[in-house]
Amino acid sequence: MISTLFEIFKSNMVQIPLIQPIIDYLMQIPLINFIVALILWRPFFAVVIIPGLTVLLLYLLYIVWFERKLTARVQWRVGPLEVARPIRGAIQALADGLRYFFQEAIVHKEAHRPYFVQLPILAFIPILLPIAFIPAGNVVGIKSPYAVQLVVAFLALIPITIIAIGWASNNRFAFIGSVREALIYVSYEIPFIIAVSSMIYLYGSGDPYVAVEKQSIVPGAIMNPIAFLVFIIAMLMATSRLPFEIPEADQEIAFGPFVEYSGMLFGLVMVLAYEKLYVMALLFVILFLGGWSGFYCELLGDLNAPLWLFIKTIIVISILAIVRSMYARYRIDQAVRYSFSWLIALSIVALVIGIAVGWIV
Amino acid sequence: MEEFTKFVRGGILGPIKKWGTKWSLWPVHLVTACCGAELAHAFACGYDGERIGALNYGIARQTNLIIVEGAITRKMARVLRITWEQMPDPKFVIVMGACGLNGGIFWNGYNLVKPSEVVPVEFFIPGCPPTPEALLRGIRQLQIKLDKGVAENSVSFSEVKAEKGKKPRILPRGVKKVSLAPCIVIAREKEVEWELGKNLCEKLKVLGRAVITARNRIALKVDPDKLRSSAMKLRDLGFDHVKSVNVVDAPNEGKFIVEYWISSYSVKELMPVLINLHSEISRREPKISSLSDIFPSADYLEREMQDLFGVEFVGNPWKGRFLLAPDAPEAPLRKDFKLQEEVYVGD
């Protein structure tokens, strides 16, 4: 049994010439070779190391710090610094996370107790499942010709958990937040899906490999700039970032659905939007910015593709973080009106362009 | 489970917990006064409290520090306590400003509460208001204290059994009942050691109900038709002027209470004494005999009461308006007087 598994892992390992001598040495030791083979097994590597959970955690530490630092610089402040002076306070998010981890998690009397505790953990399922389908070169969890469609379908499940969180909290602010989340959900989801399907028409397939191959000369952002624009705006709306930070408006409704959460549970629900942003940015990079294609380094071998994908994703998210410190918030009616008039019109134009370009190419 | 919780809260993981809490003190600020401006300064550019990991946050559930800014009144004390109880466990309180420390300029206010009596306070920051440097130093001191201290819960609660089964459906409460006829009490008796007062009371008891309400204060209730004779008796005792005339409107009891505050300038031992000579008259025909010929100083005061309450002082020669403008409404200080509603054009 174990030997069969070992053979399966061994036959499909990530090849990295840089650390190949170390791996060769470790593979001779019994038991450790099994663990090494498991870690370097391509599907496991894709889901757990890169672009999966490990870099997701690193990304969370980075983006929270980067956002606070950037906002501080815009406001002529310094931002988090003293926690680790030599690296400009880059582990501030770690300190906040540890504090949340050790704080008391209050479950108040009016809450629906089982759902209130379970839902933050259940909300991770629709966030982690897409990562299994997003490939990075040879490193891929589950290979599927319908990967793009599947990722979009899983992303559509996340607001449902957030609405359920608001319901389980049994708080008036949480109710208002849930209703706002539902409104924003219907208003961004339609342009988002139309923009993605325009790119699927353009490439002729929902397979990320085909999409990346077709972008080898011209990136998708230039082939269909309007879909690019619609995708960015839908991304801002979906992750409730600032021009559309309507469900979690902390000045009016005190973080909306998450108002009653404290301690570790709040730590879990607070990063939901950031994780959603990560998955959407991965999809964005694959559809519009040429995916994992980039300068090839011989020493890194198979690690090239995931690294390029991750670096591009981080750059996209860092640029989007600037929006947060520059814009004021829309009212709910403005956001809904805007998305149901202009955004849908733009997305239909993008669909026409996608079909036309796909027909020519 | 309890031991596990204890292990997680303290134990081997203590230093990690202490480090995380130290660098992530998020204050929820309870602004009741001008210290809030200094807090804003401390967290804006220039001083930037976010440097040391303190991020202002409006929501109690997700924070671990309260900065109390300013005087805490009885009403706000409840808010402070609720905010403190909403916060999850390792929680700290910093009080800034002289008002929170010992009252500041409100030191003898009847309605003032010290925050240290409501919640356990970690640090006080003196000053009126404290400078931003002082506030940041307070947060810094709390960090040092956390660093040196033991990792443990900042508060412990008694164990409560979790409810099982279906929760009972709690219906909303009915409308609050308001008492229809709150009784107005003018003279409440009080035990004081005052020889002169007791003698005076003995003399006044033939006129009506005479009680000592405080030191140097006597209340004497008489019937309306005995008012003049009582006033004459008081004049004979040495009281020579009326300090104030007052009317209390009690619409629920259907009466006016007319009070004369009588004192003396000529007899030395009676100088500090104030006698409240009052009597009740019907609200339907508010008529009472005037004392202006016995005590001339009552004249103008009676005219004023006649203006404001519509009580007729029989014997007072003045008829017509005294203080109010000619077009002012009748008896504006009566409790059933309705203000004229404003009309907005185009509404």
The 3-class secondary structure across chain B, one letter per residue, is: CHHHHHHHHCHHHHHHHHHHHHCCCCEEEEECCCHHHHHHHHHCCCCCHHHHCCCCCCCHHHCCEEEEECCEEHHHHHHHHHHHHHCCCCCEEEEECHHHHHCHHHCCCCCEECHHHHCCCCEEECCCCCCHHHHHHHHHHHHHHHHHCCCCCCCCCCCCCCCCCCCCCCCCCCCCCCCCCCCCCCCCCCCCCCHHHHHHHHHHCCCCEEEEEECCEEEEECCHHHHHHHHHHHHHHCCCEEEEEEEEEECCCCEEEEEEEEECCCCCCCCCCEEEEEEEEECCCCEEECCCCCCCCHHHHHHHHHHHHCCEEECCCCCCCCCCCCCCCCCCCCCCCCCCCCCCCCC
Q: Which amino acid is at A319?
A: I
Do the Cβ atoms of A103 and B23 come within 8 Å? no
Q: Find chain B residues with C-beta within 8 A of A266's C-beta.
A: 61-62
Do the Cβ atoms of A68 and B59 come within 8 Å? no
* Contact by Cβ (8 Å): B125, B97: yes
Q: Block means of pLDDT (10 residues each) for chain A, length 361 residues?
A: 77 78 81 80 83 87 89 88 85 88 82 86 85 84 88 89 87 87 89 91 87 84 88 88 77 82 86 88 89 79 84 90 84 88 91 87 73
Do the Cβ atoms of B20 and A262 come within 8 Å? no
* Contact by Cβ (8 Å): B80, B16: no
Nearest to A80 among B44, B50, B61 (CB): B50
Q: Find chain A residues with C-beta within 8 A of B89's C-beta.
A: 103-104
Average pLDDT over chain B reads 85
**Which value, in Å, is the radius of gyration of the alpha carbons in chain A?**
22
Domain contains B252: yes
Q: What Å distances lie between residue B154 and A139, A211, A263, B9, B85, CA to CA? A: 48, 56, 15, 11, 12
Per DSSP bridges, beta strands B65-69 and B287-289 are unpaired
> Does one domain contain both B232 and B295?
yes
What is the pLDDT, as a whole number, of residue B181?
A: 60
Q: Find chain B residues with C-beta within 8 A of A94's C-beta.
A: 20
Q: What Å distances lie between residue B191 and B194, B217, B218, CA to CA? A: 9, 12, 12
Do the Cβ atoms of A99 and B8 come within 8 Å? no
> Does one domain contain both B137 and B47?
yes
B80-89: per-residue pLDDT in tens?
888 888 888 8
* Contact by Cβ (8 Å): A133, A141: yes
What is the pLDDT, as a whole number, of residue B276?
A: 93
Q: Does B53 touch chain A (CB under 8 A)?
A: yes
- Cα(A260)–Cα(A110) distance, integer angstroms: 10
Nearest to A102 among B20, B48, B59 (CB): B20
Q: Six-digit token pair at A96?
A: 């906040």
Per-residue b or e along B244-258, where b marks 16 or more CB atoms closer than 10 Å to that residue's CB: ebbbebbeeeebbbb
Domain contains B297: yes
Count of domains for chain B: 2
> Does one domain contain both B15 and B137?
yes
Per DSSP bridges, beta strands B209-214 and B217-221 are antiparallel
CATH number at residue B306: 3.30.460.80
* CA nearest to A47, candidates A120, A121, A109, A140: A140
Is omega for the bond preceding A243 within 30 degrees of 0, making it cis?
no
ipTM rounded to 2 decimals: 0.80
Side-chain half-sphere of A132: how many Cα atoms within 13 Å? 9
> Does one domain contain both B25 and B141?
yes
First-to-last alpha carbon distance for chain A, in angstroms, is: 49
Q: Which domain holds residue B250?
A: 195-314
What is the pLDDT, as a whole number, of residue B183?
A: 76
What is the pLDDT, as a whole number, of residue A329?
A: 84
Domain contains B71: yes
B231-290: per-residue pLDDT in tens?
999 999 899 999 999 999 888 888 899 999 999 999 998 999 999 999 999 989 999 999
- DSSP states of A276-314: HHHHHHHHHHHHHS-TT-----TTTGGGHHHHHHHHHHH
Q: Find chain B residues with C-beta within 8 A of A76's C-beta.
A: 45
Low-confidence residues of chain B: pLDDT under 70: 1-2, 5-6, 8-10, 151-154, 156-157, 175-182, 342-347
Report residue B330 CA to chain centroid gap: 32
- Cα(A100)–Cα(A265) distance, integer angstroms: 8
- Cα(A203)–Cα(A211) distance, integer angstroms: 6
Per DSSP bridges, beta strands B255-263 and B209-214 are unpaired
Nearest to A102 among B9, B55, B87 (CB): B9
Do the Cβ atoms of B50 and A98 come within 8 Å? no
Do the Cβ atoms of B61 and A101 come within 8 Å? no
Give A157's DSSP letter: T
Domain contains B154: no
* Contact by Cβ (8 Å): A139, A209: no
- Cα(A170)–Cα(A190) distance, integer angstroms: 29
Q: Any idea which residue has 């009680």 for tokens?
A: B211
Do the Cβ atoms of A98 and B20 come within 8 Å? yes
Do the Cβ atoms of B24 and A95 come within 8 Å? yes
First-to-last alpha carbon distance for chain B, in angstroms, is: 65
Q: Six-digit token pair at A322?
A: 């600037």
Q: Does B23 touch chain A (CB under 8 A)?
A: yes
Taking the CA of residue A91 and the nearest CA in chain B, the distance in Å comes to: 10
Q: Find chain B residues with C-beta within 8 A of A97's C-beta.
A: 20
The domain boundary, picked from B114, B148, B182, lies at B148
Taking the CA of residue B262 and the nearest CA in chain A, the distance in Å comes to: 58
- Cα(A165)–Cα(B284) distance, integer angstroms: 64
What is the pLDDT, as a whole number, of residue B244?
A: 93
Residue of A nearest to B45 (CA): A77
Q: What Å distances lie between residue B188 and A122, B182, B274, CA to CA? A: 67, 16, 15
Do the Cβ atoms of B88 and A68 come within 8 Å? no
* CA nearest to B130, candidates B150, B104, B149: B104
What is the pLDDT, as a whole number, of residue B151?
A: 66
CATH number at residue B121: 3.40.50.12280
Taking the CA of residue A52 and the nearest CA in chain B, the distance in Å comes to: 26
Do the Cβ atoms of B58 and A254 come within 8 Å? yes
Sorted by sequence, the CB contacts under 8 Å of residue B38 that are 6+ apart come out as: B69, B96, B129, B130, B131, B132, B135
Length of chain A as a residue count: 361
Taking the CA of residue A77 and the nearest CA in chain B, the distance in Å comes to: 5
Q: Does B83 touch chain A (CB under 8 A)?
A: no
> Does one domain contain both B206 and B135?
no
254-283 in A: which are within 8 Å (CB) of B?
254-255, 259-263, 266
Torsion of CA A336, A338, A342, A346, to 10 degrees: -70
Q: Does B144 touch chain A (CB under 8 A)?
A: no
Q: Does B15 touch chain A (CB under 8 A)?
A: no
Domain contains B246: yes
Domains in chain A: boundaries: 110-360
Length of chain B as a residue count: 347
SS3 A143: coil
* Contact by Cβ (8 Å): B312, B306: yes
Domain contains B6: yes
Q: Does B276 touch chain A (CB under 8 A)?
A: no
- Cα(B73)–Cα(A332) distance, integer angstroms: 38
- Cα(A152)–Cα(A149) distance, integer angstroms: 5
Q: Any idea which residue has 């009317």 for tokens?
A: B247
What is the pLDDT, as a whole number, of residue B223?
A: 92
* CA nearest to A136, candidates A260, A14, A9, A7: A14
289-308 in B: which are within 8 Å (CB) of A?
none
What is the pLDDT, as a whole number, of residue B178?
A: 62
* Contact by Cβ (8 Å): A250, A174: no
Per-residue b or e along A75-97, where b marks 16 or more CB atoms closer than 10 Å to that residue's CB: eebbbbbebeeeeebbbbbbbbb
- How many cross-chain Cβ pairs, A to B, lie less than 8 Å apart? 94
SS3 A176: helix
